[in-house]
Structure 1
Amino acid sequence: MNKTLSRKQRRNFFFMNVSAFAVIFVFLGMIILQLLSQTAYRETDQAITEMNHNPEFIQQEIARYRDDSFPENNFHKEPPKSPSSNRFNTQIILWSKDGEILNKEAIGGRFSQMENLRLQTNDLEEIKTVTIQDEEDELIFHSLTKAYSDNEIAYVQILSNVNQIQHSLQNFRIIVVGCMIVFWLLSMGISYWLSAISMKPILKAWQKQQEFVENASHELRTPLTIIHNRLESLFRKPDHTILDESESIAQALNETRRLTGLTADLLTIARSDANQLTLEKETVETTAFLTELVLPFQEMAELEEKMFTLAVSDSPSVVMDRKKIYQVIVILLDNALKYTKQGDRIQVSASRKNKSWEVHVQNTGPSISKEAQQHLFDRFYREDKSRSKETGGYGLGLAIAKQIVEEHQGTITVKDVSPHGADFCIQLPLN
């Protein structure tokens, strides 16, 4: 992936993350403010509703109004009013049919704050917001107006001041919006970091794909070149018989077989990468499975004067894909035969370990360096490339073995054997 495309993709990830955070913060802020607005006025509206349904409060105000209308019946004095008192919680207003406030005397000094209040008979018995503009400030009330059957009193209005709640909500909105902006700015830094993290697997997959294509092209080029040259040589010698060119034909056929094996391995890896490597699992009795599997390799080891042993202890039945695991162990045994010499020993052992079936393929051939062990299961990796020409390998066998084992939810590892040699270990879950 070129740098321009990489930067463009990272920039797209960045703007996607920033936009996602912005949408989340906006919706979160709207939900918080909406819930707060609903709950902030709930108690006030509930108090107004209770006063509306409880006639005692209204009767007390009417009695107070009538006492104030007849001074001879009024034996109490109105407490002094503070000149700075322009806020109050609840007040009952008595209205005449003509829209005149009747209980002015009962309201006292607060009446000056309500001179601009007008009777509104729309939406009776419903709580509404009423705003009164006085000389100093704006007063905001929640109000409920109801009709009253009295010769003098036509309507009763209950007012509850909500200025303090309104100011608290405004301050809270400022705080919420400020926090949203601050955290959105922080999210920009987080988005930049996330865009870098998101690009890593993409770049890794791209690099892996590029290396795969380059290595595959390199491996395919050699056998194709040999086949091409051998076929051309046949055309240059039209008078020769098949027997005369048997060596060229045999070499071309040999490279064709190698090419067929390589393409089959590449197809297996491609299917695994695309999650199309299907497993046909069945219950396998492992003792008989291993005994049958190693028999031809024992015969080949005898012909090459190598010692081959099989040790099976407490070998259980395992649910697995017989053909795929057969292929894995064949890969390990084939490598063991390739990289051992006359007189070396190859040992296959299997046993139950906790809830897993463990298979070891050991050989006393050359040891594998620590650095090579870290890359041994990588595609096209070969520790000794010059020797790989002799063995005919492409560096795909162990990569395929690892993919098959991991598809079975198992593991495959390698370690050194003292004084020299290698031990490949496969662990598969029993179920």
Structure 2
Amino acid sequence: MNKKFTRRQRWSFFLMNVASFAIIFLLLGIIIFQLVNRSAYQETDSTLKDTKEHTELIDQEVKRYKEDPTKFPVEQENETEQPSTPPDANRFNTQIILWSSEGKILNEAAFGGRISQLSKLRLQTDQLNDVQTITIDDSNEEELTFHSITQKYQDTDGEIAYVQVVANVNQIERSLATVQKIVVGCMVFFWLISIAVSFFLANRSMQPVLRSWKRQQEFVADASHELRTPLTIIQNSLESLFQRPNHTILDESETVAQALNETRRMTTLTTDLLTIARSDSNQLLIKKEKTAANAFLEELVKPFQEMAALEEKDFQLQTHGEKEVFFDRQKIHQVFVILLDNALKYTKEEDKIIVTSEFTHKHWILHFKNTSAPISKEGKKHIFERFYREDEARSKQEGGYGLGLSIALEIITAHEGELTVQDYTSSGVDFLVKLPA
């Protein structure tokens, strides 16, 4: 693969991951800010509404004002009547303000030390009965922020026109500012970490692409190599025929037979290559149908039993029970033929070939065993790879290309099954096929 393209693709993955993390952290931060802001002011606003609806405190303030407007409120320990307030109401920062119809504060004496700030309030009647945010600029101290709710008051003598309940929220704002700094700091910190993670993910994302590209290059190279040999033989055979135009077909029967034999091998090879290409592009269609599994197997092995008998090999079929299984008859037939053909190719006279079939609750399990030479530990790791042949000379002699087991694995995988290889006793091979039942 072109290094420039690889580098560009890696940077593309990296930038995409960084942008994705940034968007996720940004959305997370916005959601956190919204939830914190809403929950932070919720209790204060609830207190204001409770004070407005439960008028005992308002009536007490009005009564105190009318009795002595210049007197500060002092709790009497022996006072028998206490206003009934909701148990969850927090009045610590809450102040009740009585307004005249002209917009004058009537109960300034009740403000105590807060008179310098609260006296700067102005009556606003445009949003009665709704919670509002009010800001007061204080030249000596920080800007003061209040949440307030204002309502009309039905006074018997008409002196009090409006009642306003205010609550200072500066402490909440300072807490929110601290929370926001912490959240922003955490977002930036983890986003910086995500840059390193993005670089790691970009490299990881490129690995399958590079492996696929390398596999494709190897596949093309191996296929070209395998096709070159039969094509060369066919070409040489045809050229030799042109060099002897007076010879009859009988005279050149050996040359023609050789060309035909290589043509058949090429046909098999191209069919296998087409199967693999379809599998790589997810076009390996599986048409499952309900089939009596052991009956299907018994019919399939008959010609192989006959060939084994002719070659003086012991072929045993061991089936246990019967069950109907869903699978693609044609493709599973191809898998079993590949496994049985290999067993016949790589066994000698008096060797054993044993095929067993049994069922579990979830699987149809088959063993294709033979007593040929065992496969090496390294060979087991690569035996299902395309064009892999542990014994190169023998494979070519037998006419194999190293594609059979790779195709078998592709078909079994498409059936959501398993195909593995293991040793059979001390000398032999056991191919295990597990299909969903």
Question: Given the two structures, how large is their TM-score scaled by the length of structure 1?
Answer: 0.90
Aligned-pair CA distance for 1:23: 1.0
> What SS does the aligned partner of 2:237 have?
helix
Equivalent residue number for residue 82 of structure 2 = none
Q: Deviations over 1:264-288 (max 9, x none)?
A: 1111112222222222223333343
Given candidates 110, 113, 118, the residue that maps to 1:109 is 113
Q: Deviations over 1:70-99 (max 9, x none)?
A: x7xx698799xxxxxxx9611122222332
Taking a change above 3 Å as real, the CA distance of residues 91 and 417 of structure 1, as seen in their structure-2 partners, is closer
Equivalent residue number for residue 53 of structure 1 = 53
Rounded to whole Å, the distance in 1 between the matches of 2:317 and 2:339 is 14
2:63 maps to a residue whose letter is: A
Equivalent residue number for residue 12 of structure 1 = 12
Rounded to whole Å, the distance in 1 between the matches of 2:31 and 2:406 is 53
> What SS does the aligned partner of 1:101 have?
coil
Rounded to whole Å, the distance in 1 between the matches of 2:119 and 2:269 is 97
Equivalent residue number for residue 32 of structure 2 = 32
> Are 1:253 and 2:243 counterparts?
no
Given candidates 218, 230, 247, the residue that maps to 1:223 is 230
Question: Given the two structures, how large is their TM-score scaled by the length of structure 2?
Answer: 0.89
> Are 1:201 and 2:208 counterparts?
yes
Could you tell me whether the CA contact under 8 Å between 2:419 and 2:432 is conserved in 1? yes
Rounded to whole Å, the distance in 1 between the matches of 2:263 and 2:145 is 92
Over aligned residues, Cα RMSD in angstroms? 2.4
Equivalent residue number for residue 82 of structure 1 = none
Could you tell me whether the CA contact under 8 Å between 2:132 and 2:148 is conserved in 1? yes
Given candidates 344, 348, 351, the residue that maps to 2:355 is 348
Taking a change above 3 Å as real, the CA distance of residues 358 and 99 of structure 1, as seen in their structure-2 partners, is closer
1:148 maps to a residue whose letter is: Y
Equivalent residue number for residue 41 of structure 1 = 41
Equivalent residue number for residue 317 of structure 2 = 310
Alignment of 1:187-198 (within 5 A): 187-198=194-205
Equivalent residue number for residue 83 of structure 1 = none
Rounded to whole Å, the distance in 2 between the matches of 1:16 and 1:326 is 46
Aligned-pair CA distance for 1:168: 0.8
Aligned-pair CA distance for 1:294: 1.9
Aligned-pair CA distance for 1:149: 4.2
Aligned-pair CA distance for 1:27: 0.9
Could you tell me whether the CA contact under 8 Å between 1:68 and 1:106 is conserved in 2? no
Could you tell me whether the CA contact under 8 Å between 1:315 and 1:357 is conserved in 2? no
Count the aligned residue pairs.
Answer: 420
Equivalent residue number for residue 147 of structure 1 = 152
Taking a change above 3 Å as real, the CA distance of residues 237 and 38 of structure 1, as seen in their structure-2 partners, is same
> Are 1:136 and 2:146 counterparts?
no
Rounded to whole Å, the distance in 2 between the matches of 1:17 and 1:297 is 56
Rounded to whole Å, the distance in 2 between the matches of 1:290 and 1:88 is 87
Percent identity of paired positions between Structure 1 and Structure 2: 58
Alignment of 1:237-276 (within 5 A): 237-276=244-283
1:140 maps to a residue whose letter is: T
Taking a change above 3 Å as real, the CA distance of residues 188 and 273 of structure 1, as seen in their structure-2 partners, is same
Rounded to whole Å, the distance in 1 between the matches of 2:332 and 2:361 is 20
Aligned-pair CA distance for 1:354: 5.6
Could you tell me whether the CA contact under 8 Å between 2:419 and 2:431 is conserved in 1? yes
Could you tell me whether the CA contact under 8 Å between 2:73 and 2:110 is conserved in 1? no
> Are 1:118 and 2:122 counterparts?
yes
Equivalent residue number for residue 93 of structure 2 = 89
> What SS does the aligned partner of 1:240 have?
coil
Could you tell me whether the CA contact under 8 Å between 2:72 and 2:109 is conserved in 1? no
Equivalent residue number for residue 170 of structure 2 = 163
> What SS does the aligned partner of 2:164 have?
strand
Aligned-pair CA distance for 1:259: 0.8
Rounded to whole Å, the distance in 2 between the matches of 1:382 and 1:183 is 50
Aligned-pair CA distance for 1:355: 3.9
Equivalent residue number for residue 376 of structure 2 = 369
1:16 maps to a residue whose letter is: M
> Are 1:403 and 2:410 counterparts?
yes
Aligned-pair CA distance for 1:171: 0.8
Rounded to whole Å, the distance in 2 between the matches of 1:277 and 1:77 is 90
Taking a change above 3 Å as real, the CA distance of residues 402 and 108 of structure 1, as seen in their structure-2 partners, is closer
> What SS does the aligned partner of 1:19 have?
helix
> What SS does the aligned partner of 1:380 have?
coil
> What SS does the aligned partner of 1:41 have?
helix
Aligned-pair CA distance for 1:407: 2.1
- Bigger mean CA deviation after superposition, 197-206 or 308-317: 308-317
Taking a change above 3 Å as real, the CA distance of residues 106 and 410 of structure 1, as seen in their structure-2 partners, is closer
Equivalent residue number for residue 305 of structure 2 = 298
Taking a change above 3 Å as real, the CA distance of residues 383 and 156 of structure 1, as seen in their structure-2 partners, is same
Equivalent residue number for residue 99 of structure 1 = 103
> What SS does the aligned partner of 2:68 have?
helix
> What SS does the aligned partner of 2:303 have?
helix
Rounded to whole Å, the distance in 1 between the matches of 2:433 and 2:110 is 95
Aligned-pair CA distance for 1:218: 1.2
> What SS does the aligned partner of 1:193 have?
helix
> What SS does the aligned partner of 2:365 have?
strand
Rounded to whole Å, the distance in 2 between the matches of 1:45 and 1:217 is 79
- Bigger mean CA deviation after superposition, 173-182 or 275-284: 275-284
Aligned-pair CA distance for 1:204: 1.8
1:54 maps to a residue whose letter is: H
Question: What residue ranges of structure 1 are gaps of 5+ in the alignment?
Answer: 80-86
Rounded to whole Å, the distance in 1 between the matches of 2:302 and 2:72 is 121
Rounded to whole Å, the distance in 2 between the matches of 1:173 and 1:240 is 97
Equivalent residue number for residue 345 of structure 2 = 338
> Are 1:381 and 2:395 counterparts?
no
Q: Deviations over 1:328-348 (max 9, x none)?
A: 121112112222233333232
Taking a change above 3 Å as real, the CA distance of residues 62 and 321 of structure 1, as seen in their structure-2 partners, is same
> What SS does the aligned partner of 2:246 have?
coil
Equivalent residue number for residue 84 of structure 1 = none
